[in-house]
Structure 1
Amino acid sequence: MKRIILLSFYFFTFAGTVFSQTNLSLEHIFAKETFKQKQFGPIRWMKDSKGYSSIEENQQIGGEDIVRYNPATGEREILVAAEEIIPEGADDPLEVSDYHWSADNRKLLVFTNTRKVWRYHTRGDYWVLDQDTRDLRKLGRGLPESSLMFAKFSPDASKVAYVSEYNIFVESLRTGEINQITQDGGGNIINGTFDWVYEEELGCRDGFRWSPDGESIAYWHSDTQDIGTFYLINNIDSIYSQPIPLPYPKVGEKLSSVKVGVVSAEGGESQWFDIPGDPQNNYLARMDFIPESQELLIQQLNRRQNTNTVWIGDSKDMSLTSILEEKEDTFLDIHDNLIWLEEQQYFTWTSERDGWRHLYKVSRDGQSMTLLTRGDFDVERISHIDPVAGYVYYIASPDNFTQRYLYRSPLHQTGEAERITPMGAPGQHAYQLSLDSKYAIHTFQNASTPPVISLITLPEHQTLRVLEDNQRLKERYDDLGLKPKEFFKVDIGEVVLDAFMIKPADFEPSKKYPLIFYVYGEPAGSTVQDSWMNGDLWHQYLSQLGYVVISIDNRGTKTPRGRDWRKSIYGQIGILASEDQHAAAEKILSTYDFIDGSRVGIWGWSGGGQMTLNCMFRYPDLYQTGIAVSFVSDQRLYDATYQERYMGLLQDNAAGYDEGSPINHASNLEGKLMIMHGTADDNVHYQSFEMLVDKLIAYNKLFSMMSYPMRAHGINERENTSLHLRKTMEKFWLENLTPGGR
């Protein structure tokens, strides 16, 4: 439910075509390729910081080369040519989905022939190319095709470990011997990777770690036996329906029992850390070896997700020492910014304990904690930590919550935040820094500028060369003659909210236009951002039909506005947000004379679908029309980890769950409602859709509905789906919310 649908738009054109708003058809947006954004990379900075590698198409034989660029001179060198990764007996090179170098840069690991596991392509085949012998070999011979996950070189690159069918294997690169080092994986037992909810809500996918000496492997072990099973039903690929079982812990139900163990890289019995607490009511959210040691740092999150206990575990005697406890009255987020400093005597730690999200330096025993990124602002994300130069580089935006800029602060002394991004380029900036912090791949974008990717020097921020400017895309977008997004503020008394507005290209301020609100409103994302978002062409298309489109970030959304802003939503998902949305809508209607208060619609996807329903059911006098896509109707139906993080446990907040669930307000529906869902949605189950349908029927409420068989949460699988969905939405708007100025 927390997913915002960030749309990828594709168009078709012929060279030299000049565009106008009349070219902006749904077929252009969702079925053809013209305004396709160009990428650069993926990029890997070399360990010596004297070059970066990338994947580039080989024009002669097809396939891809892995090339190296000298950042100072721009000199290009082919490190691995496409012809070097043609398997014996094959005609074509391997398709390089991802690649990794060994620590000595002498061996290359190529990930190919991939398969999706829930959200991401994390399962496939791995090949190793030896740079010295030029020998190319496939790993996991004898194991099922495309079954390998998270392959990693041992520290000395003599072996590779990987997961296949929920067990961990170690393969010798010298002899080719494959050693299965866990034996019980399969069924309800998962080794070295995770169940659905750990992946979706905690960002856990790769579930094992090599020890620094390469002698052992630490890994997560999950037992899903007591998780309730939800069944997706495939009715369209066979004459008999096919149930698809999905272990999925709903609110208040049992979680996986998870533990961390250590096993020799040669195999044998695993040893387990006896971490206090019920393993079914705590999360082991992070684990890794401390560099140059046999100790692990383990983060244990309680079920309420408001206490994170940090343990140091000794892999030799399996002893545990608690060194740090992070606590909140509401909820905590897990961060991946932990870097060891000063010969592993300190580590970096992200906390909101002073009211803002900041980076701290913590001693190994947890007894001292020093604030590094001081100031009344949020660190939106860490870009790079450079212990040698003594700086942490991070993204923040103290003055405009819709934008992002690069700052740095010293690691070893107290100092003020230093802005690195120059003034004069408003929007969002992202950086991929070299290890020595002297260079960065810089990406700039804003709501009217597609990503421009450059190589720059730091800290001067001088551009050495532009790697991709997306200039043709920019020109074609500008040729459409669209009205740009206008960012503005909405003061609702208790707080001032950020919003954007898109007007029709032929807008006349003397006329009154219908209004469509686009809403998300949950704590996992934000809609009001000065970023490209692929031109936001769906909303631009709606504006060309004759609608004004507005989106508002209510309190609790994922914006860098401090702890109190984010935590305000705790225990009242669907309640506070819909109140803010309603108050902002009333303020907008009283402020802008060109908006017709008798023609107001609202739409959203996932959490935004739930918010759409809450707004329509709670405030039927204001919202006359709405479309809710892939929504949660009853919060008890969603997964425990997400919902309990923001709502608390069911036994502690049953009234909040009831009040925040739109299904309990369905009797108030007065407007015209369209609901849409994919029947194979593993994230927000189709059950939510059917339960709401059942309730609306009981209340004798008329509505429109559209189900997409065997489509998942994004409703984009199978032929023509995206175009059909948008045409269905367009038809509903045109028939139920009269477009155009009056």
Structure 2
Amino acid sequence: MNQHVARRAGLAVALSLVAAAAGAQVGPGTQWTKDGYGYLQVRPDSVVQLDARQPTKVQTILSKKQLTPAGQAAPLKVRRVALSDDGHLILLNTNTKRVWRYDTRGDYWVYDTGTKKLTQLGRGRPESSLMFAKFSPDGRRVAYVSEHNLFVENLADNRITQLTSDGTDKLINGTFDWVYEEELDCRDGFRWSPDGQRLAYWQLDARKTPNYLMLNTTDKLYPYTVPVEYPVVGEDPSRCRVGVIAVGGGETTWMDVPGDAVQHYLPRMEWAGANELIVQQLNRRQNESKLLLCTAATGAVKPIYSETDKAWLDAKDGAVGWNWLEGGKSFVWSSEKDGWRHLYRVDRTGKEQLLTPGNYDVISLESIDEAGGQLYFLASPTNATQRYLYKVALKGGKAERVTPANLGGTNGYDISPNGKIALHTYSSASTFPVADVVSLPTHQRLHGGEVPAPAAKMKLPKTEFFQVKTVDGVTLDGWMVKPTNFDPAKKYPIVFMVYGEPASQTVTDRFGTGLNRLYQGSMADDGYIYASLENRGAPAPRGREFRKAIYHNIGALNIRDQAMGAKEVLK
């Protein structure tokens, strides 16, 4: 019994190390300083600014005293922080509550570094009801959503202007319903115009969608139902449209997007200039994508780019932001049209140029360094279980690997806006996670990279990676952990860890692969073989055909790949 407890404790340490490494990277929401060398970090009773080049250089931006509202004894528990463009105002998100999966509603406060004053926004609104508060470009106002309506608050006098008043649980302004959040990664549903005088926003009409009653059995002593506007298979989704409204209030100008607003999705929208929006539209089957330029003042729409696929097309990676080049004359777009996921430069007329030619997949666009004439992306052309940083010229051409050859495994990067440094994490199935800061493009370590003390005492599973070719001629990646003191002459029971659907991979060369969180003890010590195979349909960087072969074949092709792969393993 004590042995089992010790093993479980070891696994808990392992998982905490993974979390620590992920936290060290800060993530895509990193609040970098204007020069690109510093970033903000929320601590239990303070907000500090760190210098990515000098870990000992820590500047307290907000102290415990400054985070404590007048008349209260305890400081705010800050969940998120954002700076105004000039850095004089700090927006603080606190007291957050979950909406579906994420804690996207809560309270917001603004700290003025000039007056040393801490002010709560949305006075009079229900507690923890504000969502996605954002400074206007000039820092004079903050816009937010509360109870499915849009509001703008003037920071000089905290006067609140309600922009929409028709919002209900079923008519949703400035955020999204369950389908858009779960399937299209949409949450923040409004954008400031570049001049700060208008807001562009989504409106979803779910009034024709019946409630699906979910049972909550965990939050209270007695279970209760939670109504969700969920369209079951075959039913219509919510009607969606995009509009623009002045910050002083008035009528909304709705974009005249072609097609049935129920039978199409609008998963992405951003400002494309002083008086234009760019919108991505997907049809209901999600096999046709169109990019539309919309005139904000009139709602007039002009299609500029379209794409179709026999299986499906994804919404633009990243629900917020657009990858503009040349001051908005063109942008970077990803497509699988040639059989591989590649990056293209597309101008406002729809003319495209391939930037990353070759028989490999771009896993993700990491950063555009326009001043340096290059962009960074993750890829792994020769091993679908790993992740490396590459760079390519903005004019296109042969990609060059940036990650050093000795870092075989999974690498992650949070690249500074100046393109000169990155917060880097690294791990493999046989290597503990480490976090460091590196210079770019040389990948020289500036500091960090130490293995946490508890990690040095941990025993990792001996994970072996392999490939098998099935009777269907399909090559599958796999990993295996053999029993301790394995004897090839003996027979052992084998347990396969299977996922098999399009959302994630199971065969990855990173820390934690080969560990079974659901097993009490050590499978290897107890005489089991533990293994996993990556069937077609998994989002592995092995080309479009590998990923999309599962279209109309879920429950058939993936299961056959697993079964035929298992037969090869057992030979």
Aligned to 1:324: 305
Aligned to 1:228: 210
Range that drifts further, 539-548 or 512-521: 539-548
1:107 aligns with 2:89: yes
- How has the CA–CA distance of structure 1 residues 241 and 589 changed in structure 2, closer, same or farther, with 3 Å as cutoff? closer
- How has the CA–CA distance of structure 1 residues 576 and 130 changed in structure 2, closer, same or farther, with 3 Å as cutoff? same
Q: Deviations over 1:681-714 (max 9, x none)?
A: xxxxxxxxxxxxxxxxxxxxxxxxxxxxxxxxxx
- The alignment partner of 1:44 has SS state of coil
Alignment of 1:129-278 (within 5 A): 129-234=111-216, 242-278=224-260
The offset of 1:430, in angstroms, is: 0.9
The offset of 1:135, in angstroms, is: 1.0
The offset of 1:27, in angstroms, is: 6.6
The offset of 1:241, in angstroms, is: 6.2
Q: Deviations over 1:640-674 (max 9, x none)?
A: xxxxxxxxxxxxxxxxxxxxxxxxxxxxxxxxxxx
Alignment of 1:561-580 (within 5 A): 561-580=542-561
Q: Quick check: 1:35–1:476 contact (8 Å CA) kept in 2? A: no
- How has the CA–CA distance of structure 1 residues 578 and 279 changed in structure 2, closer, same or farther, with 3 Å as cutoff? same
Aligned to 2:40: 53
1:485 aligns with 2:469: no
Letter in 1 for 2:296: S
Q: Quick check: 1:489–1:499 contact (8 Å CA) kept in 2? A: yes
Following the alignment from structure 1 to structure 2, what is the Cα–Cα distance between the partners of residues 313 and 262? 11
Aligned to 1:361: 345
**Structure 1: runs of 5 or more not aligned:** 1-19, 58-62, 591-742
Alignment of 1:324-363 (within 5 A): 324-336=305-317, 338-363=322-347
Q: Quick check: 1:359–1:373 contact (8 Å CA) kept in 2? A: yes
Aligned to 2:24: 40
Q: Deviations over 1:421-454 (max 9, x none)?
A: 0101111111111112111111111113232111
Q: Quick check: 2:135–2:142 contact (8 Å CA) kept in 1? A: yes
Following the alignment from structure 1 to structure 2, what is the Cα–Cα distance between the partners of residues 188 and 526? 35
- The alignment partner of 1:543 has SS state of coil
Letter in 2 for 1:378: D
Following the alignment from structure 1 to structure 2, what is the Cα–Cα distance between the partners of residues 72 and 460? 18
% identical aligned pairs: 43
Following the alignment from structure 1 to structure 2, what is the Cα–Cα distance between the partners of residues 310 and 474? 48
Query: Which has the higher Rg, Structure 1 or Structure 2?
Result: 1
Between Structure 1 and Structure 2, which shows a larger proportion of strand residues? 2
Q: Deviations over 1:290-324 (max 9, x none)?
A: 1x421000111000101111110011111100001
The root-mean-square deviation of aligned C-alpha atoms, in Å, is 2.3
The offset of 1:159, in angstroms, is: 0.4
**Structure 2: runs of 5 or more not aligned:** none
1:68 aligns with 2:68: no
Following the alignment from structure 1 to structure 2, what is the Cα–Cα distance between the partners of residues 283 and 447? 40
- The alignment partner of 2:561 has SS state of helix
Q: Quick check: 2:121–2:153 contact (8 Å CA) kept in 1? A: yes
- How has the CA–CA distance of structure 1 residues 496 and 191 changed in structure 2, closer, same or farther, with 3 Å as cutoff? same
Q: Quick check: 2:25–2:435 contact (8 Å CA) kept in 1? A: no
Following the alignment from structure 1 to structure 2, what is the Cα–Cα distance between the partners of residues 240 and 22? 34
Aligned to 2:480: 501
Alignment of 1:462-541 (within 5 A): 462-466=444-448, 469-478=450-459, 482-493=460-471, 494-533=473-512, 536-538=515-517, 541=522
Aligned to 2:382: 399
The offset of 1:178, in angstroms, is: 0.9
The offset of 1:70, in angstroms, is: 5.5
- The alignment partner of 2:333 has SS state of strand
- How has the CA–CA distance of structure 1 residues 241 and 394 changed in structure 2, closer, same or farther, with 3 Å as cutoff? closer
Following the alignment from structure 1 to structure 2, what is the Cα–Cα distance between the partners of residues 53 and 240? 41
**1:388 is matched with which residue: 358, 362, 371?**
371
Q: Quick check: 1:67–1:80 contact (8 Å CA) kept in 2? A: no
Q: Deviations over 1:122-160 (max 9, x none)?
A: 111111111211111111111111111100000101000
The offset of 1:44, in angstroms, is: 2.6
The offset of 1:24, in angstroms, is: 4.5
Q: Quick check: 2:150–2:173 contact (8 Å CA) kept in 1? A: yes
Following the alignment from structure 1 to structure 2, what is the Cα–Cα distance between the partners of residues 238 and 436? 48
Q: Quick check: 1:294–1:316 contact (8 Å CA) kept in 2? A: yes
- The alignment partner of 2:77 has SS state of coil
Aligned to 1:89: 71
- The alignment partner of 1:163 has SS state of strand
Q: Deviations over 1:348-395 (max 9, x none)?
A: 1111111111110011111x1001122211000111012221111000
- The alignment partner of 2:457 has SS state of helix
- The alignment partner of 2:305 has SS state of strand
The offset of 1:507, in angstroms, is: 2.9
Q: Quick check: 2:481–2:514 contact (8 Å CA) kept in 1? A: no
Aligned to 2:397: 415
Following the alignment from structure 2 to structure 1, what is the Cα–Cα distance between the partners of residues 97 and 439? 38
The offset of 1:169, in angstroms, is: 0.7
Alignment of 1:287-686 (within 5 A): 287-290=269-272, 292-336=273-317, 338-366=322-350, 368-411=351-394, 413-466=395-448, 469-478=450-459, 482-493=460-471, 494-533=473-512, 536-538=515-517, 541-590=522-571
Letter in 1 for 2:107: D
Following the alignment from structure 1 to structure 2, what is the Cα–Cα distance between the partners of residues 205 and 325? 25
- How has the CA–CA distance of structure 1 residues 236 and 102 changed in structure 2, closer, same or farther, with 3 Å as cutoff? closer
- How has the CA–CA distance of structure 1 residues 400 and 386 changed in structure 2, closer, same or farther, with 3 Å as cutoff? same
The offset of 1:536, in angstroms, is: 2.6
TM-score of the aligned structures, taking structure 1 as reference length: 0.72
The offset of 1:225, in angstroms, is: 1.4
- How has the CA–CA distance of structure 1 residues 331 and 235 changed in structure 2, closer, same or farther, with 3 Å as cutoff? closer
Following the alignment from structure 1 to structure 2, what is the Cα–Cα distance between the partners of residues 329 and 178? 49
The offset of 1:30, in angstroms, is: 6.5
- How has the CA–CA distance of structure 1 residues 31 and 360 changed in structure 2, closer, same or farther, with 3 Å as cutoff? closer
Pairs aligned (count) = 559
Aligned to 2:59: 77
The offset of 1:106, in angstroms, is: 1.2
Q: Deviations over 1:213-241 (max 9, x none)?
A: 11110100011112232112357888986
Following the alignment from structure 1 to structure 2, what is the Cα–Cα distance between the partners of residues 470 and 574? 42
Following the alignment from structure 1 to structure 2, what is the Cα–Cα distance between the partners of residues 208 and 350? 24
